[in-house]
Structure formats: structure tokens, C-alpha cells
Chain A
């Protein structure tokens, strides 16, 4: 765990390298659509912002409100914790911010661009190249080794030939990231051969592969013992401090939340 978080290789999944169109020609590809959305500022200086987010789930004829007008701003390089009881809607909020789901009303703005109403394919690209996500239950693919799991975003981004051409570069970065989280000895182990803490660290490495601009963490320590949880928090803090990585974390644990720069509370679907 003495590795630094320096950027050792400049190219992999670099958003400025891959996603920004280099010409002013007609917008044709999905990647260009996503970028075009990012190029047209809507408003505000915040890195990531939620404006009046409403979300309810429908259970038969009854709509159950989950988020009732969320106003939230996350600044660049900030480590924000959202704390709340189970069922208060914090995971839903995280999904909306990370474009996994769409709000009923309101908007999500990323770097001045509205992203919640982008087409599905553009949101896929955002998640693949600009956002990293870690979950309470790690969500590694059981058929793949730790190294392959970390490489999954690259597999998704690239075709066979593209990946084949840059495979050394990708593998080097994935190996470095696994070393960074202390899993250099677990490269070829499957998730079922790893402990919960190790799986979560592998998940963090996977989330970092694309050099994301925001890392979303959904109860990252919720399924871990205290020691493993602290280990994960150390990693997240260092990522935030050394790489200035913007982190949005939701948790129900006040002690975990205190490790962040700023804590906001979510009560009954509203930020208080």
C-alpha cells in the first residue's frame, strides 16, 4: 500500500484523448453525441449537480416517492458523503447521478452539461469512460479473474482488434491498479477465492481503470468488517487527496461518512 497514485501511463481511457471530437464537423457517432452534450454548458460552476430531482417507484397503482426535490452540488476534487437511513433514497440518488437511472423530473448536470436526458448509448459511454462505480456487494463478475474484472471497462470500450492492439498497455495499467490496492498477488484469482475486502479493492481498481472524473461509491464498506472498511476508506481518501478524484459516497454509517470532506444528510427524499 505504499504505491503512489501517480499517473504512470498517459493514454488508457483518457477522456480528453478519446471522447472529445477533434473536428467541428457533423455529429455522427454516439461518442460525439455524448461529447456534444458535455460541450454545451447549461449553468453553474459545480462539477456535478442535481437540480430538483424527483423520483418515485410505482407499486401497482400507487406511486411511492423516493426523492422529492434533491438539490445538490459536488465540486471538483471534493469527497462528498451522503448519509441517511436505509430506504431514504440515497442509493437511488447515486444511481441518478451516475446515469444508471433517470429521474421523473429535475436534472443532473456534469461539468456544466445536462446528462440525465442523454440517449441511452451516450449515458453508457459516460459510465464507461467518465464515471467509476463501486457497490456494497462489490459486483465482480464471478467467471473472470481479478485482473480480467479490472479490465472489463476496457473490454467494453474496445472491439477485439482495438483491445488486441493496446492489450499490453491495458494489462499494465490494470496490474498497476491492482498493486495500488494491494492485490498484486491476486491477479489471477477468481472473486470466490477472495475475501470481501479484497473483492471491494478489486472493484475500486476496476472503477479506476478508465481514469474517471467522478467515483460513485454505494455503501462501499457496508458489507465489510471494521478493519476492511477502514482499509477501503484509506484508499478512497488517498485517491481523493493525491489524484484529486471527485468522490460521491453514500453510507448509513456516520463514522465512515466523517472520513469525507463534506457530509450531507438525506431524510425522506430531501437533502437537509
Chain B
């Protein structure tokens, strides 16, 4: 009884106890905030990775791929059909893409992915990442007349984000405007530099009389100028025609300024040139023009700045992966989506046993992103270790303060012992004191941590305004906001850990108090 009473009185009357409470509180709040942010990042990243990759990928080890996706898919369905929701074949090839910006060809190293627009939506969230509502319904690889998103549709409150003003004109209006502009520039160029007449392209243009030039740029600048007319065998009218559609990762042609506004180097309606190796031996470099029909934004900067998507049929033809007689094309990989709750590892193992490892690679999305996921996990573990050490430092603070309190209360301990209190009882006072400090500190820390997590973006903005430097730079992460998830189990572990440290730190001082000799304690000055 006296233990609780004295513990309560010590808690109320000793301001030094506040220091212990504050140190526990700060430690707990920090751990809750860090864990919530890390969990938010991890969850967001995993969702996006899984969304992009599907659950299982069967890949051919050859860059030229293997023939007949339909046959392979039938075999997969035979092996694990009850687990599978959707499948889609893809052709993947490393490529070089050129974007024409103000007459300069900007090169980008990209991964060119040929997809089947009809089935690809069943194996990934690819469709949800597109910028035109119509394309999100069903991608056609056709340029739209307009209506591309100006506000990011993937955030909870799109109106609060910075508008992408350039996207207002994206689509056919932009294509027509760019074409008009290019023609004007070409005329001026010819007028100012008659020598360009010497070039083949200019000659062709002049010979064609009033026909529009095949290219939108002076031929001396654009090395792909002749591709269009050569490929089609007739004059190409950019005002009404488009090349095969291509969907670019948004990071390939945009950059985000510190205020969160996106600036685009190319828009849907612009053409890009892509160079890639053919499937023949020895490989040839094949080039092709494509018209941007949309952007995709998975918000994973690694993907958004490296992946471009074209129709699988086009790519198969361009790369020579297509048998004109049978009409059957080669593929590089088949993406597989499993039903919710299915065991991806088991399905992977079944497929591995049936598809020879010399030719095929079967992996889950976690296998493919193993190093990245492991790195994030390691980062979380190290952060927790460091923060736990900070709480341990707070624990040593409690230990020191408790020693002081024991010294200060030596005479009281003597009094209690003279009245018959046992050593264990005296120990109980200080253990209960440590427990109370731990509980109060953790409780307040929990409140503070949750309040911080709830308002973390507002706090980050405020800190950014105060320091003049953004705390969370959206251009680095492609997240508009800091993602957070409060996991109750983690919070419970943090609270238990903090309370345990507070109790552990009070054991030594409590033992010292318990062992004090009553006479010496009574005479203590």
C-alpha cells in the first residue's frame, strides 16, 4: 500500500521525474514516427512494385525470346490454373530513345516493353497509372483529342497538388500546334540558309512542290527525318496521322521543381525515336518513330524514368520476332497475376519444375525486387536499433536520476525500515516508480507520436518554410506526401520496450535502496 502511495507522491512532487518522463516520451514518439513513416514507405513501395510487376514472372533467358505465348500460357494454366487470375505476354528489350526538345535530340536509356493492351491490365495496375481517363479504362495506343489529367488523379485531394498546366493541351491539339510551329521554323530556316537546299531532304521537299515536309525539323538537325516517309512509302501527315503509340514513364520527359510543379520536355502528341537491336543474328540496330499517347506514373522513380511501353505486335514485327507464315510471335516474359491469398512461392516452384531452368526464369515479384526490399528492411532495422539505443540512453538518464532520488530519500528509506518495511517493499517503491514513469512517458509519447504522424506533412511544410529548404522533396521520391502507416503491433512493441527500459533502469537504484542499513539510513545527513 505504502509503495503505491509514496510512488504517487514522488511522481507528483519531484520535478526531476518530469525529466525522465520527457526522455521516455521523446524516445517513444520518435520511434512511432520513424516506424510509421518507414512502414508507409515500404507499403507504398511494395504496392507499386507488385502493381507494376504482377505476382509471378516467367522469363525467357534469351533476349530474342521464345515462340508462342499462347501455348506457354495454356501450359501454365494447366499447371496452376486454379490460382491464376490473369496472364499477359511481354517483349522486353533495352533501347535508346531520343526526345526532340527544341531541335536537340535528348537520348534516354530505356527498357522498351511490348505489351498486349487487352490483357496487360489484368496482370498489373499499369492502367491505373495512365494520365487519360479513357486510357485508364482501356488503353488503345491511340492519341486522344484531349482530356489528359491536369491534376494528379492518384492523390486523395488532387486539387491541392500543383496543376500540370502543359497537360491541358496534350493530345492531338498539341500535335497539330507543334506541326504548325515546325513548318514555320522550316520555312524560316530555308529562307535564311539557302544552302540547306543541298540536303536530300530539302530537295525532296522542293520537288514535292507544295507538299508538307516529311519531318518537323530541318533535316540537318534530325537524323531520323527520313524514317517516316521511308517506312510508310508515302508522305506522312503529322496533322492527322500518328506513329505507333508509345506510353512513356513520366520521369523520362519531366522533372519536378522543388515547389512540386512538373515541367514536361515532351507531351502526348509528340514523336520520339527509339533504337533497339533486332532479334536476328548478328543483331542489327532498328529505329522507329513512335507517338507519345500517354504517360504512366507508378510513382516509383526507378520505373517512371526507365520504362516505355509499345504494342507487343509492333515490337515483335520491328524486332523480327514474328513468323509471317504462322503469325506467331516470340515473347520475352509472361506476367502472371494470382488470385488474392494464393501462395506465390508454391506456384513459382510448380512452374519452375515444369519449365527448364536453362531456358526459363520463374520468379515472384519479391524475388525480383529482393535486394531493394531487403535494403529497406535493413534500413528499418538499423534505424530501430539506433533509436532503441537512444531510448537506452534515456534509460541511463533514468538510472542516474533514480540514484539521486535514492540518495535524497535515504533517510525516508531508514524511516520506513524502522517502521517495519521490508527490503523488498522498499525495492517495490522504486520499481513501481520506474514503471509509472515508463507508463506515463510512453503514454504521452504515444499521443505525441500519433499527433506528429497525423500532421507530419503539415509539420514538414512548416519546417520547410522556416528553414527555407524543403524537408520532404517530392521530386526525389515521386510521392506527393510523406506516406505513413501506424501499425498497432509495432506501437505495442515500442511501448513495451520503453516501459521495460524504464523498469530495468530502476532496478539498480531500487536494489541499492533495498539494501540500505536502517540505522545508517536514519543517521544519513
Contacts and interface: CB of A to CB of B under 8 A. Distances in A.
B9 A160 contact: no
A100 B420 contact: no
Given A95-B519, A100-B417, A129-B420, 14 more contacts: A98-B418, A100-B518, A101-B518, A120-B423, A125-B420, A127-B419, A128-B420, A133-B419, A139-B411, A141-B6, A142-B412, A143-B6, A144-B9, A153-B420
B1 interface: yes
A104 to B, nearest CB: 14
Contacts of A155: 1-2, 5
B415 interface: yes
B497 interface: no
Contacts of A110: none
Contacts of A139: 411, 414-415, 418, 522
28 contacts: A100-B417, A101-B517, A124-B417, A124-B422, A126-B420, A127-B420, A128-B419, A128-B421, A133-B418, A135-B418, A139-B415, A139-B418, A139-B522, A141-B6, A141-B412, A143-B6, A143-B9, A152-B416, A153-B419, A155-B1, A156-B1, A156-B2, A156-B419, A156-B425, A157-B420, A160-B4, A162-B1, A163-B1
A160 B5 CA distance: 10
Interface residues of B, number: 25
Interface of B: 1-2, 4-6, 9-10, 13, 411-412, 414-423, 425, 517-519, 522
A124 B420 contact: yes
Interface residue SS majority, chain B:
helix
A100 B2 contact: no
Interface residues of A, number: 33
A100 B4 CA distance: 24
A42 B519 CA distance: 27
Contacts of B425: 156
A156 B1 CA distance: 7
Given A120-B423, A143-B10, A156 B416 contact: yes
Interface string A119-141: 01100111111000101000111
Nearest to A164: B1
Interface residue SS majority, chain A:
helix
A148 interface: yes
Which of B2, B5, B419 is packed against the most chain A CB atoms within 10 Å?
A: B419
A261 interface: no
Nearest to B425: A156
Contacts of B412: 141-143
A135 B522 contact: yes
Contact of B420 (A148, A156, A160): A156
Interface in A79-133: 95, 98, 100-101, 120-121, 124-129, 133
A142 B518 CA distance: 18
Nearest to A210: B420
A143 B10 CA distance: 8
B419 A159 contact: no
A98 B414 CA distance: 14
A253 to B, nearest CB: 20
Contacts of A148: 5
A126 B518 CA distance: 15
A143 B425 CA distance: 18
A158 interface: yes
B312 to A, nearest CB: 76
A159 B422 CA distance: 13
B304 to A, nearest CB: 63
